[in-house]
Amino acid sequence: MLTTQRVSAEQYKTLVPDRHVFFNEPDFSELNRDKVDDIHYLIIQKEHSPRFGLILGVRGDVASCPFSAPYAYPVPIGSSARVEAFDEAMAALEAYCVQQGLSELHFRFPPFRYDEDILSAWTSAMYRSGFAIESLDINYMLDLAALNRDDYQNIITRKGRSHLRRAMSAGIEIVECAEDREIEEAYAIILENHTAKGRPTHMTLDQLRATFALVPHAVFLARLNQKGIASMIFYEVSGEIVQCIYSGYLLEYSNSGVMNYLTWYAIRYYGNKGFKYIDRAIATENSIPNYGLCDFKESVGGKRSLKYSFVKRLGKE
């Protein structure tokens, strides 16, 4: 029988040495502690043998994994866990949450490409445990082995090829931002873009800087005639995957092809560093597609995958 024990952040680091992705890191959770009432670092164990670890953020009587990130998930500790162990772990976690007086439990997973073996087992366990799908988003991944090629232009869509050539012929320069003023300029472009489109920018520049201290990252700024016109920000979220956290452009350059050019630059940059995928994130809002965004991400070589979010009202089958 498995049980759930709460530990400190430092104990969690010791007990869960392989946390798989950046958003499973205690340091990242601690950085965002002010966004929840409390953080529970949990070890699911058999007697005194740890089997799984996860981090829950609690607001009121609602627990979430993640509580301030695009995704997170419980990870096995040690050798590969049997499917039966995932079922037992889910039962132990629910019992702990009920004991703590929590009424809801939420999970938001990354696309299966991140950790298909583990995420498949959790998805099955949650389905059979009575979790409902809260949202089902379309996420786009760039396969760097397939796209980091000299003939990249020939393997993307005609529209993507046209936009990329337009940008390349315009004399756009890509800057790998190292100085703080360059990062400020890149962030300001993203903020202006999101504001103009009515989209939230969840992190301030100071919060972004604080996160940069925890994760390898890159900020790319596109300039035309020495003027910043677009930017992208990336985190190295695992040993194989880089995620585009933010991107944006000045609206007057919407037809310049600059976002296609930035994407191609990132493909070459991270492909040459040995990464396997760029996660270009979702193109949906609460499961509803933004068709224009879907078209763009497909035009640069993005392949669709699904990103599941689950919820269960505890004590209710």
DSSP character string of 222-248: EEETTEEEEEEEEEE-SSSEEEEEEEE
Same domain, 123 and 152: no
Same domain, 235 and 147: yes
Q: How far apart are CA 211 and CA 206, in angstroms?
A: 9
Q: How far apart are CA 73 and CA 58, in angstroms?
A: 15
Contact 247, 190 (CB under 8 A): yes
Is residue 311 in some structural domain? no
Give the residue from 42, 156, 18, 36 showing the smallest Cα distance to 99.
42
Residue 163's CB is within 10 A of a number of other CB atoms, namely 23
* Residue 199 or 77, more confident: 77
Among 102, 129, 156, identify where a domain stops.
129
Same domain, 26 and 120: yes
Give the residue-averaged pLDDT of 184-194.
97
- Give Cα 297 distance to the centre of its chain: 16
Confirm whether pTM is higher than 0.85: yes
Contact 39, 74 (CB under 8 A): no
Same domain, 244 and 100: no
Same domain, 224 and 253: yes
Query: Would you say residue 315 has pLDDT above 80?
Result: no
Mean predicted lDDT score pLDDT of the chain: 96
Q: How far apart are CA 114 and CA 109, in angstroms?
A: 9
Contact 111, 278 (CB under 8 A): no
CB contact set of 302 (below 8 Å; sequence gap of 6+): 140, 141, 142, 280
Contact 243, 69 (CB under 8 A): no
Same domain, 13 and 34: yes
Query: Would you say residue 316 has pLDDT above 60?
Result: no
Domain count, the chain: 2
How far, in Å, are 166, 184, 199, 231, 247 from residue 205 at the CA level? 31, 7, 16, 14, 14
Beta partners for 248?
Answer: 231
Among 73, 102, 129, identify where a domain stops.
129
- Provide the residue type at 215 as one letter: V
pLDDT tens sequence across 222-236 = 999 999 999 999 999
Is residue 301 in some structural domain? yes
Among 73, 96, 129, identify where a domain stops.
129
Query: Would you say residue 317 has pLDDT above 60?
Result: no
Is residue 35 in some structural domain? yes
Residue 146's CB is within 10 A of a number of other CB atoms, namely 13
Q: What percent of the chain has pLDDT over 90?
A: 95
Same domain, 184 and 72: no
Position 297 scores a pLDDT of 97
Is residue 237 in some structural domain? yes
Residue 271: domain span:
140-306
The phi, psi pair for 69, rounded to 5°, reads -160, 165
Give first-to-last CA distance, the chain, whole Å: 21
Is residue 19 in some structural domain? yes
Query: Would you say residue 80 has pLDDT above 80?
Result: no
pLDDT tens sequence across 275-303 = 999 999 999 988 999 999 999 999 999 99
Same domain, 155 and 287: yes
Same domain, 85 and 174: no
The alpha carbons of the chain give a radius of gyration, in whole angstroms, of 21
Contact 216, 235 (CB under 8 A): yes
Question: Residue 190 is part of a domain; what is its CATH number?
Answer: 3.40.630.30
- Provide the residue type at 49 as one letter: S
Give the residue from 106, 122, 125 showing the smallest Cα distance to 114.
122
pLDDT tens sequence across 96-137 = 999 999 999 999 999 999 999 999 999 999 999 999 999 999
**Would you say how long the chain is, in residues?**
317
Which residue matches tokens 């500790």? 77
Same domain, 10 and 122: yes
CA angle 160, 164, 170 (to 5 degrees): 150
Same domain, 62 and 148: no
Is residue 295 in some structural domain? yes
Element holding 202 (H helix, E strand): none
Give the residue-averaged pLDDT of 184-212.
95
Same domain, 183 and 156: yes
Q: How far apart are CA 10 and CA 125, in angstroms?
A: 29
Give the residue-averaged pLDDT of 83-88.
96
Give me 61's structure tokens: 């009587």
Position 171 scores a pLDDT of 94
Query: Would you say residue 41 has pLDDT above 70?
Result: yes
Is residue 262 in some structural domain? yes
Contact 26, 66 (CB under 8 A): no
CB contact set of 234 (below 8 Å; sequence gap of 6+): 217, 218, 219, 220, 242, 243, 244, 245, 266, 270, 278
Is residue 316 in some structural domain? no
